[in-house]
Amino acid sequence: MNSNFRSYDGFFEQSLAEINPALADNLAVIAELLPLEADLALGVILGFACDSTHDRLLVLVRNVIKAIPKDWLINRIEAVAENTVNFEDEWEYRRLLYFYDLIDPALVERLALRGLKSSNFEVIEIANDHLAP
């Protein structure tokens, strides 16, 4: 069982290292990369964050997001999510809200307001839950 955990970690690290080897050792360098590299790396992180159903991988991504400089992340994450996340899929939408909640309340509010315009009733329901007082 532990080997499965290591394989998730390894696959995640390898995916980032293929973009830039420095990312495997220190995720804070993402803010110093060329914009294309940085956006690719953030897209990989969001892909793992929003597609995964494995608890270990979700914890890993949560820790990764906390390691990225917050100001940089706030400025880049919405644009990268546009090309990475299926906003009409309730699972991906819910996961993205969860990760936005770790970063900044304004991100959550904007995503929840966007969800109200969804054609997927479940996404609308999730959005309403996040906007309710």
Torsion, Cα 37 38 44 45, to 10 degrees, reads 160
Is the domain of 47 the same as that of 65? yes
Is the domain of 54 the same as that of 117? no
Is the domain of 115 the same as that of 69? no
Is the domain of 28 the same as that of 55? yes
Whether the Cβ atoms of residue 115 and residue 132 lie closer than 8 Å to each other: no
d(CA 31, CA 76): 10
Domain that holds residue 54: 1-85
Read off the pLDDT of each residue in 65-93 and give the average, rounded to a whole number: 95
**pLDDT at 73 (0 to 100):** 96
What backbone torsions phi and psi does residue 89 show, to the nearest 5 degrees? Answer: -95, 120
Helix (H, G, I), strand (E, B) or coil at 112: helix
Residue 4: is its pLDDT beyond 50? no
pTM: 0.88
What amino acid occupies position 42? L
Max CA-CA distance within the chain?
Answer: 44
Chain center to CA of 106: 16
Residue 115: is its pLDDT beyond 60? yes
Is the domain of 41 the same as that of 6? yes
The count of domains in the chain is 2
Q: Which residue has the higher pLDDT, 69 or 4?
A: 69
Tokens of 112: 């929840």
Compute the 3-state secondary structure of the chain and give helix, strand, coil in percent, each to the nearest 5. 80, 0, 20
Confidence of residue 5 (pLDDT cuts 50, 70, 90): very low
d(CA 116, CA 34): 34
**pLDDT at 51 (0 to 100):** 84
Q: How many helices (H) and strands (E) does the chain have?
A: 7, 0
**pLDDT at 8 (0 to 100):** 57
Read off the pLDDT of each residue in 34-50 and give the average, rounded to a whole number: 94
